[in-house]
A = this chain, B = another copy of it.
Amino acid sequence: MAICTVYTTQSLNSTCSIYTPTTTKTQLSFHQKQLVLFSSSKRSGSRRGGSNTCVITCAAGDSQTIVIGLAADSGCGKSTFMRRLTSVFGGAAEPPKGGNPDSNTLISDTTTVICLDDYHSLDRTGRKEKGVTALDPRANNFDLMYEQVKAIKDGVAVEKPIYNHVTGLLDPPELIKPPKILVIEGLHPMFDQRVRDLLDFSIYLDISNEVKFAWKIQSVDTVWRASKASIEARKPDFDAYIDPQKQYADAVIEVLPTQLIPGDNEGKVLRVKLIMKEGVKYFSPVYLFDEGSTISWIPCGRKLTCSYPGIKFFYGPESYFGHEVSVLEMDGQFDRLDELIYVESHLSNISTKFYGEVTQQMLKHADFPGSNNGTGLFQTIVGLKIRDLFEQIIASKAAAPVEATKA
């Protein structure tokens, strides 16, 4: 039988149950400011981690964990997108205190972001030996990913492995407590159907190859050939295992070269599309002026002057992998605050709590990459939409009776 440890922490009023593999069940009650968490002293050895571990389930009316999936090729854990998202909920996102300094996890008051690289079943050497890339499903433990995400969603803390990006080794696990919002970020959040079904909302960050190449050129000029080669080497697996996930995403942020500068290949000015699936519960797509119609808008004109090459928006209904979607596109970049607030004021359904909240968020992180273009704008907006989704789910759960928890 596994050993269970109870951690105390602040701020949640919970009713908890302890499950063990022997199916013994003990009801526990804790005062406010106590939270029961799970930790197994023994790392789950089997591929189906948790089958022989004890589980403490906490069903708190106000602490339902919602799970967000973010598929992105790189920048796991510390990505700008995640910092923007956690910022919307307030508080800084930081690695777990006192833990592995190479942890990929980011924790804020509301949100915990885990990196799916931590579910690599093969370390760097192992991948080399077997001749598979990190993109290959065979290098990843989807069973464990599913069980741990499910456990957290059910209010159960887990001991999540750590893939050390510095050493390329699998480090000892770290404790992940159920947060209000769990973000699973990485290469395969929507690859395994079981994991996919746990997601309350999913996002795919789609950087076009042209832009990837341009960014590599910009960032490390001297290694550009190698970088291009590395992008090209990853391409078959990327196309086979990563790219197809976008069909499942509730929102896709697509980063493309600008169309405002003919023949541009610098990748400095970007055209960014926010593709939003219709009919997703608790998610109402953003729109421009007239919902469901097709619009192109150049805000720069008499009221707003913009510097070259200006700003151009597009909005309209489209089809995306057979799904009905609404697309909002921004080409160009903001040069001044008034441009940003002007654009914000003309967008609808952005789920702000006050006038100018998008602009405030963008200014707060003006030093983040993409703060002057569609990537920053749409990441911020998606953050607000997730906050809205979270609040709607909490409200609907509060209205419904507290569900019985299951192991």
Q: Which residues of A contact B (CB under 8 A)?
A: 289-304, 316-317, 346
Min CB gap A319→B, angstroms: 12
Q: How far is the CA of A320 from the CA of B113 in the complex (A)?
A: 56
The chain B residue sitting closest to A303, CB to CB, is B292
- Kindly list chain B residues whose C-beta atoms are within 8 Å of the C-beta of A294: 297-298, 300-301
- Kindly list chain B residues whose C-beta atoms are within 8 Å of the C-beta of A298: 293-295, 316
Q: How far is the CA of A290 from the CA of B313 in the complex (A)?
A: 13
Q: Which of B293, B299, B304 contacts A297 (CB 8 A)?
A: B293
Majority SS at the chain A contact face: loop
Q: How far is the CA of A302 from the CA of B299 in the complex (A)?
A: 24
Q: Which of B297, B303, B316 contacts A291 (CB 8 A)?
A: B303
Q: Which of B290, B292, B300, B302 contacts A346 (CB 8 A)?
A: B290
Q: Is the CB of A296 within 8 A of B293?
A: no
Additional A-B contacts beyond A293-B297, A293-B302, A295-B298 (16; CB < 8 A): A289-B289, A289-B295, A290-B297, A290-B299, A291-B303, A292-B301, A292-B304, A293-B298, A293-B301, A293-B303, A293-B304, A294-B300, A295-B295, A295-B296, A295-B297, A296-B296
Q: Is the CB of B301 within 8 A of A316?
A: yes
The chain B residue sitting closest to A312, CB to CB, is B294
Q: Is the CB of B293 within 8 A of A290?
A: no
Q: How far is the CA of A289 from the CA of B298 in the complex (A)?
A: 12
The chain B residue sitting closest to A278, CB to CB, is B302
Min CB gap A21→B, angstroms: 51
Min CB gap A306→B, angstroms: 11
Q: How far is the CA of A98 from the CA of B292 in the complex (A)?
A: 56
